[in-house]
Every structure is written in C-alpha cells, then in structure tokens.
A and B are shown apart, each in its own frame.
Chain A
Amino acid sequence: MEDLYAEYEEKLPQKLIEEIKTHVPSKISKTKLKAILEKVYLEYITGIAEPGECVGLVGAESIGEPGTQMTLNTFHFAGVSEMNVTTGLPRLIEILDGRAEISTKMMEIYLKKPYNQQPEQVKKLAESLKETLLKDITTSMSINLAETKLVIELDEKKLTDINVKPVQIAKVLEKNFKGYALKVDEASLIIKSKSKEEDISGIYKLKQKAKSVYIGGVKGIKQVLPVKRGDELIIITAGTNLKEILQLDFVDQNRVMSNDIFEIQEVLGIEAARQAVIKEVFKVIDAQGLNVDMRHIMLVADTMTMSGTVLGINRYGIVKEKPSVLARASFETPIKHIIQASITGEKDDLKSVIENVMLNQYVPIGTGLPGLITKIKKA
C-alpha cells in the first residue's frame, strides 16, 4: 500500500493523498487502490490551470466582485461579550492597502493547557496583561496651587488588584521625573519641584505627563477580555504587542494571533505576514457570508509579499514596482512617470498586458501568448 502512495507522492499534491487515505476503506485491494489513485490523478491533471491562464485577473475579479456586495458598516456587533472590530469593506481595503497603522488592532491569545480552564485564573492573567498607566490606578490628581505641587491619590483597591505598592509607583515616577521631589503618604503621592521656582504651567504639564506614566502590564494592550472558544478560555485584547506576548510562559505561542500584519512581519518574518494576509482577508470575506476560493486570496497575498516586505496594492506599492513605464502611467499620475522615464531614458519592453492594449497588439496572455512559425513558400 505504502509504496503505491509513495509512487503518487510525486504526481499528486500532499493534500489529495491525505484525503484519499482518510476516505479509502481499510480493506481495499491493491489493484483497486491503484485504480482510484489513477482516477484521482487523471482528474487532477485535467483540472490544472493551463499555461497562459491569466490567474491574476481572475483573482482580482474574484475578490473585487464580492467587494461590491459587502457592507460598509465599520463595526461588527455580536452582543455584549465580543469586541468591536473593523470588518467588511473598510477592513479589506485596509489589509490590501498594506497600511502600517490599522484602525482596530486586536490579538487573540491562546493559553497553555493548565491555564486555560478556570475563568477566575484566566481573568487574573488577562488583567495582568493589560497596560496600566498611572491614571488607571488613581482616584484623583489635583494641583495644589498654593504650594505648586501635584497630589496624586492612588486607588488602593486597584493597587491590590495588580499587586503593586505605592512605594513602587513612587520609584517609577522618580525615574520618569528627574528634578522633582517625591513624597509618599500612605495612598497618596506628592510631587514637588526640587528647584524653588516652578510656575503653574510647569506643574500642569507635569500632571498631563504623569497621567500616561507606564506602571505595569504589556505595553500597547489597551483592553482585555476573556472569552470562551470551544472548550477553552482565551483572551482577546484591544491593541497588540506580539513580541512581548510571545515571551510570556503561560501563552500558547503556536496559536497566538495578532491582526496587525506589519507587526507580524517585524516579529515573525515575511512568510508569516503572507499567512496573516491570507487569514485576515479570508476572515473578512467569510464573515460577510461570501464564497471566494482560497487560491485567489493566496495569489493576492503572494504578490503583496513577494518582494520581501509587505507592499500595498496602490501606486506606492505594487504598481510602483512594475517594470513598464506605460503600465505605471496608465494607473495613476501618468505625467510623473513619463517625466521620470524621460530623465532616465527608460525602455519599455512591452512585456505586460496594458501597453499592448494601448498599441493595439496581442496581449501576452491566454490566446495571445502562443505564436505560429511557418515557412512561407516563395512564389
């Protein structure tokens, strides 16, 4: 049996062989298996895309056409327990544009085995991830005008929640504000300038700065939400920080997901970014109840990432990289490209589709691709 499979390993994609293995009844004669494999192989080769097939355009159509059916509604709403995430057309545009800053960053953090069962434990872990700023753990911040000092009242309940003592916070603040004297008085901190003369605007600026002093948690994680997925609990976060989350030991590194493609590119590399593009695009299309084959999405993701960095599908990304002057000019800002071409003395070899359309020549795709060579009889 195995040698039969091995024989077809070369001819058939791995996925099909796996599928045959799962569906074939366990007691099957060798000849019959051979016949099945041969039949599948026959169907496979007849189903292969022919040379010259303009798979790019078909892919663009397959993603562009359902795009017209998508809703613009920015926020998806699935009840109280989920977070608001950009979906639909705006999200699709965002992904394909290759934007570095996306509108709603989000992570799905899966936890390792013992940590992902008790709701209490997960909630605690989630809280520990959340970025805590000074303003999150204070009850009030007031400026004492008479003595030009800043009085910060800490919220003791929250302090015990995150297990931090006021002294520790004072230390952090000391590091941040050099030149200021700090006094800890139980749950309140008093900050005063060391130099005698400090005007009120200075103290006011200090207050603004103090609000966003980083105290604990993971930077960039704005919100956390434990959610049940299947038979385990996971943490959904608003805001991302893949690099630091991956270093936490209770996190299942293999399943953690961020929706920020650029972050993934930086932390995990271009192949991971490609996979992320595929996954995110598919998620958007699937959520709209539309049916688009994976191959089209893969092709888009591959063109976006083939240069080694994520390029957007716009005049600053993929179109800029095109070798042909006329192809670039026909997209956007034609004058700019023609001027640039005149300076460098560029040569357009007319290898792509659109220049040949301009010149009324056969396009090098599909039936325009092959040529015939024949001997001409001399009369």
Chain B
Amino acid sequence: MEEYLNKKVSSIEFGFMSPQFIKTMATVKIVTPELYDKEGYPVDGGLMDIRLGVIDPGLRCKTCGGKLKECIGHFGYIELARPILHIKFVSLIADMLKSTCRDCGRLLIPKQRIDTVMEELDRVEKEAGLVARRDKIKEIISTTKAIKQCPYCKAKQKAILIEKPSTFLEEEKRLSPIEIRTRLEKIPDEDVVVFGINPKAMRPEWSVLTVMPIPPVTMRPSITLESGERSEDDLTHKLGDIVRINQRLFENINAGAPEIIVEDLWDLLQYHITTFFDNEVAQLPPARHRSGQPLKTLTARINSKEGRIRNNLVGKRTNFSARTVISPDPKLKINEVGVPKIVAMKITVPERITEWNKEYLKKFVEKGPNSYPGSNYLIRPDGKRKRITDETKEQILEELQPGFIVERHLMDGDIAIFNRQPSLHRMSMMCHRVRVLPALTLRLHPAVCTPYNADFDGDEMNLHIPQTEEARAEAEILMDVQTQLISPRYGLSIIGATNDSLSGMYVLTQKNFVVPREEAIDILTAIGVEDFSALPNKKQITGRELFSTLLPEDFNFTGYTKAYKPGIDDADAVVHIKSGKLISGCMDKANLGEGQGLLLRNLHKYYGSEFALDLLGKIFNLGNEVLLRHGFSVGIADVDISEKGEAEITKNLTQAEEDVEYLIKTYREGKLEILPGRTALETLELRILEVLNKARNKTGKLVSDTANKDTDIMRMIKSGARGNLLNIAQMSACVGQQALRGGRINKGYTDRTLSVFKKGDLGYAAHGFINRGFKHGLRPYELFFMSMTGRDSMMDTALRTPKSGYLYRRLANALQDLKVEYDFTVRDASKKIVQFNYGEDGLDVSKTEGGTINVKYIIDTMEGD
C-alpha cells in the first residue's frame, strides 16, 4: 500500500527579506546580463543560470538535481552598485524621514510620550484590532512631522519633500539613497514600532535595497518559437536591464567616472528596479517592449482578476470535464443528464482492481479505447500511467492484477456534477446520474431549467466527473438534485411545472375534463406509471381522478388556486386534496409553480425527496402528455373583442384623450393646480401620465371582461404558464404609454419628439401614447417610440449585470467565513459572534416551509386524529 502523508499548512508568516537573508537564500550571484552562450546553453552567472532551476526538458538543475517539473526553482541575487529605494515602501520611508531626527535617528517625540503613545496603541489594538491600530499610527505620525527640533539631541530639523516617484529633497538639496539608508539605520528598534513596523519582521533600512533577489527561471520561463528562436519572459527582459545597468554602474564607479555620469546611471538603475516591481507607477513612463506594449512586471502579475491570486490561487481548473450545447429531453429522469457517447468515451472513471471485480474490469480493457464501454488508461500501483490502445491491450490484459486502476469509460449511473454559469446559487451545480445517449448535446430534463436558469437557445453547460470515492459520496449526498429541491432562499420547491406542462395540468384538472379509460392508461404509461390500481374502475375517468393516481393515498392538503380571492366564495378556487384524491380546485402555478405554494413543499416533506423528485417528473410529463393528446394552440382570433367591447374601449380612450386635451388647455391658460414642490410643466406631465395610465388600466379591465374566455391564450394566462391580461390588452386594444426614465417620452428635437409633430405639442400621441393594439399595427412614429423604450431596457440589462455581479462578489467575500458553530452561534473566521442563534431561531431555511414551521398544519392534522 502507498503511504499517505497528511501534511497541513497551519500558518503563514509574512516578513521583509533582509540583505543577509537574500544572500543566504540565493544559490547564484548574477553578474552578467547575457543569457545563453553560442551553443544556446545557459551562461554561468547569467539570468538563465541552471542553478536557478530548469525550464528545458533534458537538463538537470545544478542545485537540487531535479528535472523539469521536479525542480521548483531557486533564487539568485545581485549586488547593487549603489542602494536603490524599493518603490512600494517610498511612502513609509517618507514617513520615517519626516518623523525622526536627521542627526540621532530618534523619533521626534520625548521619551515619556513614546511610552504613553505605545500604551495607547496597544490599547487600541486590544479594543478594535489591527486595523484601528494602523489608523492610529497614521494619526500619530502626522503630528510628529511638524516638530522642528529633536527633543534628544536638540538638532534642528529640516523640511523633507518627496518628489514623486522616488526622489527625496531636504530643503532643495537632494538626499541620495545612501544618505537615506544611513538615516534609517540610526532609528532604534523601540522607535520603529511606532511606525507600525515589527522589528522582528523588518528593519527600516532594508527598504533601501543593496542586494536584490533574482526570481528563479521557473517563474519566468522562455518560450521557444516555431522558428527555433527563444522569446524571453517580460521579467527576464527587465532583469536583463537591471543587471546590465548595474554592471555599467560598477564599472564607472571603479573607473572613477565623473559624478554626473554615475548619478545618471544610478537614476536609470532606480527606474529599472522600480518598473521591475511595478510598471504602472503614476509618474513614470512604463517600460515597453520593442513593439511598444508595456511589460507585465511583478505587480501586474499579482493584481486584478487575471492576476495570480484571483486567476490561479483562488480559481482552479479541472480535468475530467465536458462542455457543450444543451437540449431538453423530457424522457430523462429529473436527476439524470444525457451525455453524448463521444464524451463518455473520453472522460473516464478510475476503478481499482480487486479480487472480486477483476473479471468485470477486464471486459473494459478488452474493449479498448475505441469501442464503448471500454477504457483509456491503466494506472499501476507505482503511479505509472499506461495508455490502453488496440495494440497494447493484449499485453496489458496479461499484467492486470489487484491494485491496478483501470480508467474506464463513463457509463449509465455514474455520478456527474452538472453546472451552468453564472453559478449564482448552489442549485447552479447539482449532481446528476449519467445517461449515455447518441447525438452530440448534453441533455437535461426541462424541469431543472429553473434552478440552472437555462434555456435551449444555444446555452452551453459543463459536466464534471468526480474521480475519488470521497468526492462521489459528497456529490451524491450533498449535491443531488433531490437534495436541492427546496431553495435555501425562501424554503419552497424550486422545481415545478412550467410552460406547457402547467397549461396541460390546468386543462387536465378542470371540473369537466374526462378521458376514456384507455386514454388514461395510455397517458399513465407514457409518464412511467405502471400500476393502474389507483385508477377508478370506470369507463370515463375525470382529469382530477387521473391526477390523483399520482398522489400518495394518505395525502391531505388544502391550498388556494391562482384564481382565489379572499372573500369570494368559490369552491373551485380552493384546492382540496383528501386521502390522495383531488376533490376541488385545479392545478395551476400557485400550486405547481416553482417558488409557490406549499403543495410541492408538503409532498417533499412528508414523503421524502426521492418521492418528490419522481412525482415532479411525472406531474411535469403528465401535463405535456395531456396537451399532446388534446391539442393546444393560439391564434390571432383569440384576442378578438366583440363589437360592443370594441366600442366601449374606443369610448374610454377618447374620453382619456379629451381629458388630456383639457389638462393641456388649462395648463396653457395657467389655471392648472400646481402640486407642491413641482413646476407647472412637471405637474402637467404627472397629471397626463395619471390619466393615460388610468385609461390603459381601464382598457385592460374592459378587455378582460369582454374577451373570449374559452381560448387557449386565456388558459395559459389562468394557469400561470405564460402571459398576463395586460399582454392581451396590448395586443387587442391599446399598447399604452411608452415610458422612458419614469416619464413620457420627451427627447428628440427642439420642443418636439419627432419632426412629424408640431413644435410644442404636448398631446398624448406626440409623447408616446399608443392608443391601438399590436393587432392593428403601429404607426411609424409609434414604432419609433417603442424602439426607444426597447433600447432603454436593453441598456438597463447591460448595465445591471456587471453591477449586480460586483455586489454579489462583495457579499460572498464578506460573508463566506460565517458558519454555524457547534454551540449553534454564528461566528466569523476569527470566532467573533455575529449571531447568537442563526436567524434568531436557528432554523435552516431550506428545511422550513417558506421560512416557518407550519404550526397550523400540524395542529390541523393532529386534530383530525
């Protein structure tokens, strides 16, 4: 057996590298900017020195002896000819220079005050934490800058100015990094603490570099182009510059060159080292490639979404995953996913050979990689991976023995994690069972579109296959579709019947819906019910009886349909299920829709998630099957209105138009009663909007009163599958006011919206009121107004997505560490208590019924006993 070492990193300490540390850590001193010699072999003491690690296959690292991918690389160092300021610490250096004595290096605060200051700092940290301490430090330092005389050696202090990015001036005279370094050296350890520096982690003078670490070649690998030419990494380029200038500076100093030349080179070296750390310093021109694009140096590598932290450390990439277009397949179970065969033959599942399954696994190896179900790889106990091909499989078959791992093709029933981006909630990643199917798309049951927020207009989804037993167990227990039925957002079922399925269920459960027994059995067979004993022994079976066969025999439920209005006594608006029989009420969105009503929630609660999932699938398909057999179609005639209705609507609209005219007239005469805090024109706009909105609403009501109720379009609306009455009103009678930015349309030309109107026209038509329905067709300017609002809402969506995405990221980042502890308090990562009891009662929303425990239901059922 392999030996498992379980090491865990328990903490990470941060600190500043001292020159001593840099030298000790380094394996090479870099002395030449050259990279390779004539043969293309790395130069000793050059930036690609093989003691820094290897990036070429075949070579061995001179430090550790490892090959490519074995050796993680080693640091080198260069000795700087003159000290250089570290750009990231310039503000800290400025603080220290300004607040310490230029002679003796002491902090410009008398001894006894330092003690009180330190005490206060410790107190603040104890009370409010490290952040508060840092703020306090800033406060203290800003007061010391004004002190003009050292309280210790009485030396006069001079004003120090920074000339950004990294030049220090002391009363016009420039301070060289050497001087700065000597001053920083003088600051004693006990004073350093006041600047927030931990003397154990850092000495101030270290921020002026005298030696510089050279990162290993493994973090700046060169790429070999097709032509055989080498293209070096940006960091290597920058380091080359540094080493070159450093060497020149050395030579010039040794040769006794004039001070000006030395200073110039020194500044150049400062520039190169600054841009090595950060190529986006505000006052410096960024270092560029020959092509003109800026170099990507250290800071740019770490920062931002594409940087090391967010892209490589927090974000991980996986193997054993697939991605293609999705399409629906209602014949699948809800917790299944249809996987194309071509995918199933590429993605594998590792299975270890034991005495007991040897024969079973042998079959996969025999089949090879090209016929299904076969296998692609064999892993030997020593970790060697062997590709199974048609040629090698005979030989591999012979050496098979317990302990080997066969990577076999994906098969029906394997566990997969299915995901659609954006993964906004945990239902965006659920565990499904694999069903290998022909064709090239991933298939899913249409009922799970809601949690994934998927449709089939070209959406793609991802599939992951867990590779270890632990991962599979966790996926199965925690992520299975049936465990995710109840949304933790509101505690109701997130999967329900949608669209056609809802319409179908609505049609089926109407009072007078009957089907012959043969058809009932046909439907039940189609949805996967094989036991017909629950079906009443009659020739004609009502829709409700048919639906009831799916329900458990002891299920009782009372709920309301969508049509229910409190106070109106309509027996059919109340859903009544007694002993598993639907007695009254029809099935519509209020009971079968996602996130609505307690019917699905109760079924889940009392009969378990497995049952609920199965039932959901059956209900979903039942609706579809009913529509399939009875037809369901929509035409323009469905929105026709009787002549009488038409007349009433016209009358209503004319009345509104007259009202608007009247308002405009009173406004022009200056007689309009002005609303508080508004101008006359604003008042007019508001009043007109009010009138027109009223008119539109009234039209809607008229339409719903007069429209033919016996159409499929109305059934769709009533069941909640799609559409609402407003849609009908817009089609048949009146599209209504086009609103832009919360008012009527007022943009366009001077004093008018479009050139077809007169200047100053305040009328309803000129500002976007469309008084006819879509059925009648739009006038050109009406179409234009509609496009205006259409564009506006498009922009709205485009602007909203990144905004809400950022809000979500911030929320997730702020709250991710909060968890329920063993004492049932909610605490953050530092064990600070956020809540004493989660949500004040400790209930997990996904285990509740819409956020509460249904006390009434409990009492009612107990009463019944």
Q: Could you list which residues of chain A lie within 8 angstroms of chain B, going by C-beta atoms?
A: 13, 15-16, 19-20, 23-25, 32, 35-36, 39-40, 43-44, 46-68, 70-75, 77, 79-80, 84, 89, 92-93, 96, 223-225, 238, 291-296, 298-300, 302-303, 306-307, 313-314, 318-327, 329-331, 333-335, 338-355, 357-359, 361, 364-367, 369
Contact = CB atoms under 8 A, between A and B. Distances in A.
Nearest to B862: A36
Contacts of B739: 77
A104 to B, nearest CB: 13
Contacts of A349: 10-11
Given A49-B844, A293-B491, A335-B303, A313 B810 contact: yes
B820 A55 contact: yes
Interface in B803-843: 803-805, 807-808, 810-822, 824, 826, 828-830, 832-835, 838-843
Interface stretch (B152-160, B369-377, B850-858): B850-858
Interface size class of B (residues with CB under 8 A): 35 or more
Given A291-B595, A343-B196, A349-B11, A48 B687 contact: no
Nearest to B17: A342
A23 B855 contact: yes
B489 A65 contact: yes
Given A64-B808, A298-B840, 16 more contacts: A36-B859, A54-B819, A59-B815, A93-B807, A96-B810, A293-B851, A302-B835, A306-B833, A307-B128, A314-B810, A335-B88, A335-B299, A343-B198, A343-B202, A353-B829, A369-B819
Contacts of B839: 49, 55, 293-295, 298-299
Nearest to B829: A352
Contact of B847 (A35, A46, A313): A46
A64 B807 contact: yes
B282 interface: no
A25 B295 CA distance: 78
Interface in B1-38: 8-16
A92 B807 contact: yes
Contact of A295 (B808, B812, B838): B838
B71 interface: no
Given A68-B801, A72-B803, A358-B313, A299 B818 contact: yes
Interface in B456-502: 474, 478, 488-492
Contact of A96 (B129, B303, B807, B840): B807
B310 A330 contact: yes
Contacts of A24: 859
Contacts of A358: 309, 313-314
Given A65-B489, A343-B16, A56 B830 contact: no
B14 A16 contact: no
A77 to B, nearest CB: 5
A51 B822 contact: yes
Nearest to A61: B425
Given A306-B832, A343-B92, A47 B474 contact: no
Contact of A48 (B817, B829, B842): B842
A367 B130 CA distance: 31
Given A57-B815, A58-B426, A334 B829 contact: no
A364 B819 CA distance: 9
Contact of B14 (A19, A25, A338): A338
B816 A56 contact: yes
Contacts of B812: 57, 60-61, 64
B59 interface: no
A359 B801 CA distance: 31
Given A341-B14, A345-B15, A44 B811 contact: no
A32 B862 CA distance: 8
Contacts of B844: 47-50, 53, 55
A16 B816 CA distance: 30
Nearest to A127: B676
Nearest to A18: B855
A54 B319 CA distance: 27
Contacts of B845: 58, 62, 293, 295-296
A334 B302 contact: yes
Contact of A303 (B474, B742, B807, B818): B818
Contact of B843 (A44, A68, A313, A333): A44
B489 A40 contact: no
A224 B14 CA distance: 57
A48 B847 CA distance: 8
A25 B130 CA distance: 58
A295 B851 contact: yes
B424 interface: yes
Contacts of A13: 840-842
B161 interface: no
23 contacts: A36-B862, A40-B855, A50-B820, A51-B821, A55-B820, A57-B815, A58-B426, A62-B425, A64-B804, A65-B808, A67-B807, A71-B800, A72-B800, A74-B742, A80-B686, A89-B804, A292-B489, A330-B813, A335-B299, A343-B198, A347-B12, A359-B9, A367-B474
B89 interface: yes
Contacts of A55: 818-820, 826, 838-839, 844
A61 B816 contact: no
Contacts of A223: 676-677
A324 B675 contact: no
Interface string B493-533: 00000000000000000000000000000000000000000
Nearest to A344: B198
A41 B716 CA distance: 42
Contact of A47 (B198, B309, B316, B848): B848
B309 A329 contact: yes
B829 A306 contact: no
B467 to A, nearest CB: 15
Contacts of A313: 810-811, 814
Contacts of B817: 56, 322, 327, 352-353, 365
Contacts of A72: 796, 799-800, 803
Contacts of B834: 299, 302-303, 306
Contact of B15 (A16, A326, A342, A354): A342
B818 A47 contact: no
A44 B849 CA distance: 11
A35 B742 CA distance: 56
A56 to B, nearest CB: 3
B131 interface: yes
B842 A49 contact: yes
A341 B813 CA distance: 20
